[in-house]
Amino acid sequence: MGRALLLVDLQNDFCEGGSMGVEGGAAVAARAAERVLGDRPNHEFTDHEYEAIALTADWHHDPGSHWATEGAPDFVTSWPVHCAADTAGADFHASFQPVLDRVDEVFRKGAHEAAYSGFEGFAVRDGRTGLADWLRQRGITDLDVGGIATDHCVRATVLDALQEGFAVRLLVDTIAGVAPGTTAAALSEMTAAGARATGPGS
């Protein structure tokens, strides 16, 4: 059994001040960095908890109707322009930047589509390897998942992880959602599907 840390979309556009900023997003990025430092101080496979650390990232070139470029977004299937490839909004938050060198791989998603789940992404290193295959190649069976936003990309990533057969611990102190109602519904859906909430308040 191997455990990996999977952090979802810790990007500027999803944190306060971004085009789709989520309240608490910056704090989530900071807590994610603390978790990386606490569990993997030397980037070597020793006695730390995680055998791999991976990030997902929205990386949109032309995602079609996912971006509301004409008219107002409905915030269900269309959204403000966000995480455009090679822009500051797509960069990882400043609180997480200092630990990027401790991350094993980044999986970019949504170049030409919506792509909420990290399991729709491909490794930056080769542009071909999907997240599920990458994890299995490293003997990963269990995932700790955190990130932004609880009710959208975290939800989709967790549900896909469970569907792929991974055991999931949801890091409730390292997530932030868009709205209270949809966040609560997403938490209920994820735990009902088999994810185990862990952390303060769980």
Catalytic residue among 83, 109, 144, 160: 109
Task: Give the model's pLDDT for residue 150.
Answer: 97
Question: Around Cβ 169, how many Cβ atoms within 10 Å?
Answer: 19
Task: Give the model's pLDDT for residue 82.
Answer: 83
Whether this model's pTM surpasses 0.85: yes
153 assigned to active site: yes
Averaged confidence pLDDT in the chain: 89
Show the DSSP H helices in 74-193 as ranges: 131-137, 155-163, 180-193
Average pLDDT over residues 80-92: 90
Question: Which pair of structure tokens corresponds to residue 152?
Answer: 């959208």
Helix (H/G/I), strand (E/B), else coil: 119: helix
The least confident of 49-58, 66-75, 85-94, 110-119 is 66-75
Give the whole-number percent of the chain exceeding pLDDT 70. Answer: 91
The pLDDT tens digits of the residues spanning 134-186 come to 999 999 999 999 999 999 999 999 999 999 999 999 999 999 999 999 999 99
91 assigned to active site: no
Catalytic residue among 13, 15, 153, 160: 153
Q: Is the pLDDT assigned to residue 42 strictly greater than 60?
A: no
Show the DSSP H helices in 82-179 as ranges: 131-137, 155-163
